[in-house]
Chain A
Amino acid sequence: MRYFRHLLCVVAFMFACISANAVGHGTDENGSIDLQGILFGHIQDSYEWHITTVNGHPVVLHLPVIVKSSTGWHVFSSGEFSEEADAAGNRPGPYGLYISGSEANANKICEKVDGAEVRPFDISITKTVAVLFIDAILLLLCVLIPARWCKRHRPEDPAPKGFTGLMTMFIMYIYDEVIKASLGKEADKYAPYLLTCFFFIFIANIMGVVPFPPGGGNLTGNITCTFFLALCTFIITNVTGTKAYWKDIFWPEVPTWLKVPVPLMPFIEFFSIFTKPLALMIRLFANMMAGHAIALSLSCIIFIMFGINAVAGASMTVVSVLMSVFMMLLEVLVCFIQALVFTMLSAVFFSLAHVHGHAVKE
């Protein structure tokens, strides 16, 4: 019960932060709530890290911009872009660059070359990249600290306690229940990749739930991140695939008329090579993005209802807080489940690509 109360406090605090965050940059000129602006402002990438707004002044972390435009490499702070948009909706900055307000390149750095809007070669440290760095450092700490313990101790020493014990247990849970269960003897070959995937996704997910820096970013809810992870799984699956795996794709054991005049089954099998990682990518992305969207929407309900009248707002606040607490807890569960699902499916794809003919399978 005591722990539950602590948890409640933490969640309420998170919720308060989200609310403050949301209301900070969410109101447009006539005072109503710009829900879409709030949602996309949070879910999408940006060149600065908006933390909160105090007395109308936004508290923003300006992140470095690294671009190679038509005039060469430029590295400068994103604070050099003006706060106000010009007539075209663009926010001008140095070197002829501006943050576009156009439909095609919304909120991206662009430049005008021969009158046309083009995107320069842009490897800026955006908010999501910063979050990626933070998550990567956290991941390294979470794994290298236990690894260091393991290096410095012999098997006959007493069991590790505290953080090392927790991480060891966690890692071995994934290793035994997911990786070993799917891959069997091949487990050790793929384990580092799968474990890295799992903990990378898990830490990114959890850090996304934390509503204030260093958390609060939307890394795994960004399709680029899930695209890259799915691409890795895709490459490993097909590069380490055995002969039997490729034979099953191009010459599966089905009635001949399904593959000879019209290669129906080979076509379907070949297509499935791409759909599998695609499903991985979309699943993780959609789940995490939806989680963020729901958390923000539930907070925004309060302000929308206050816009109608105070009584509706006050009564809705209670409902919204309860719903947010519930969603927050659910979201923590989803963080774990999605990381687990990604890892488990990757492991299953690897094991499917590792068939050694049908004799071995049985």
Chain B
Amino acid sequence: MNTDQIGYLLRASTSGAVAGCRVSELELPQLGCMLRIPQAHGYQVYGILYDMHIDDDGLVRQLVTADSISPEVIADNRLHRTVPVEISMIFAGYQQGEHIFHLLPPRPPLTLEDVYLCTPVEMCAFTASGHFGYFRHILRGTDFPAAEILASHLRQAALAQLRQDNPGWANAATQEVITLLRDDYPTLMNVLAALSDAQLMSEE
């Protein structure tokens, strides 16, 4: 498996997908990070991670009732568990050749497609393309804490952009968020509170 690959696709729709991965690969992805699912002919789908779901299995249910669990057992259970960690993503756009679109992908990727974590360069290329059109996919979400996801995503993207010598990105992104949400006072306040907690500006 490639070092940036975090797992395989479990299921997908036109607006999002769920990937399965092993616990050992959980150190790389974090809430709000960008994922990509390469397809054939230069087409790849981009997503933003909004949930990581760790389900129990039969053995875990038995183990948690034990008086004590040895470290070896814990490590073995995590390494060899039969139920994968589920990573949920919303689709934020896709790439066709050299063009990046902040639109929902024309067709969802198929199961067992490789799912990769975007590198900072890839993240910068996607987030700097267009005019933050992919924000609307995040803000539209009702199944997840959009404010938290957005704040986490902006923090990571701003850091990446800063390292790519684009310090103005965070400002522009924040302004766009405010523009999109200025008619929705409660949501905007939530997002700004999250951005404030994310210390987005102090990264600049």
A and B found bound together:
no
Query: Which residues of A does B touch, CB under 8 Å?
Result: none
Q: List B residues at the A interface (Cβ < 8 Å).
A: none
